[in-house]
Amino acid sequence: MKTYNIAVIPGDGTGPEVIGEGLKVLKAAAKKFKFGLRTKVFPFGGKHYLETGKLVDEADEAELRKFDAIYLGAIGLSGAGAKNVAPGILEKNILLKLRFDFDQYINLRPVKLYPGVASPIAGVSPETMDYVVVRENTGGVYTGMGGIMMKGTPNEIASQEWVYNRFQVDRCLRYAFELAKKRHTKKSPFRGLSAEAKAAGKTARLTLCGKTNVLTNVFGLWERAAKEMAKEYPTVELAYRHVDAICLLMVQDPGQFDVIVTDNMFGDIITDLGAACQGGLGVAAGGNLNPDKGGVSMYEPIGGTAPDWTGRNGINPIAAIGAAALMIGNLGETKAAEAIEAAIAKTTPKMKTQLAGQMGWTTTQVGDLVAKSL
């Protein structure tokens, strides 16, 4: 029996509560699908930092590298605690540090409307909102290149550099093309394709999101690389949309998207729009992936710490459970992942809403419902 070693970082606020429900469902899936789970909890987070002054160091990373995956809750402080921590300290020295040091170069964000979940977009359904955003996760403006000169003077200069190399672009595009290729077959092509595209042998669509009319250097590279790579994927239709058009179409016509691929900053923006469209942060899950052999990936619910709901057993755990499904599926337990997704889809229609305190069930009861539906 295959056993997976999972590093668990519950984090702050409601993070431990939702991660607890995700682990509950994972353990139920492990029992049903005959695989093992070994977990170890790590205390990293804002509360731990205030108590110990410790973030994540090289020794911590060396230990985390021994695990098959990392399961993360949420990191952050609020109230008086937040006033004692400089902005960016936790993000840069825990979240971004792990992302960059573990070379988690793909941020994977499914945008999926579950049955019974209310979307702010009228007329959409689970069939017309089911796509994935592939965000490049280690390059672009988020690398910290740039600086400030003459600070505090009338002539102060601030710069943030938007830099990509071809290697970073190619590996992100490769992952996106492979994902699009796997999502559909000739017998079950992407429903948004035209009859002409299907007749030409296309089964999937990959849409590049950029801004080639203004950011000509960076997205000129992305577009050239995508067009060159598309020749290796004859079944994948390559499309292009400017980022502003992507935002509009995610609201007006989400059914045209299958897989979207984009850079770090645009990906950060459009994935939160996607989360809103699919019903809110309570249902949105994601993964920071190093899909290379031996790479360690990190999976998380997208919502924050929700401090007002800490300890009240009222926060929505669906996103954390979805992140667990994403994690175990990428580790190779495809049937278990599909079963968890199906169990979520059976549970969401039973919930009054996806809002904290208004679900009609407690946090633990929602976890129980999903686990029993496997």
Q: Which domain holds residue 251?
A: 120-277
- 273 and 245 in one domain? yes
- 28 and 106 in one domain? yes
- 247 and 150 in one domain? yes
Average the pLDDT over 157-165 and give the result. 96
Residue 322 domain-assigned? Answer: yes
Q: Are 297 and 327 in contact (CB under 8 A)?
A: yes
CA of 248: how far to CAs of 21, 121, 133, 147, in Å? 35, 12, 15, 33
Average pLDDT of the residues of the chain: 96
Residue 342 domain-assigned? Answer: yes
- 239 and 175 in one domain? yes
Residue 78 clears pLDDT 90, i.e. is over it: no
- 204 and 98 in one domain? no
Share of the chain above pLDDT 70, in %: 99
Where a domain ends, among 259, 277, 295?
A: 277
pLDDT tens digits, residue range 291-331? 999 999 999 999 889 999 999 999 999 999 999 999 999 99
- 297 and 194 in one domain? no
Residue 282 domain-assigned? Answer: no
Residue 80: its pLDDT value, please?
63
Cα–Cα distance, 94 to 75 (Å, whole number):
8
- 166 and 38 in one domain? no
- 65 and 28 in one domain? yes
- 262 and 187 in one domain? yes
Cα–Cα distance, 64 to 49 (Å, whole number):
18
Cα–Cα distance, 89 to 44 (Å, whole number):
13
Residue 350 domain-assigned? Answer: yes
- Write down the pTM of the prediction: 0.95
The total domain count for the chain is 2
- 127 and 84 in one domain? no
- CATH number of the domain at 74, please: 3.40.718.10
- 90 and 124 in one domain? no
Hey, which residues does 199 pair with through a beta bridge? none
- 180 and 194 in one domain? yes
CA of 59: how far to CAs of 36, 38, 52, 288, 329, in Å? 26, 20, 16, 21, 28
pLDDT tens digits, residue range 249-262? 999 999 999 999 99
Cα–Cα distance, 47 to 229 (Å, whole number):
46
Residue 132 domain-assigned? Answer: yes
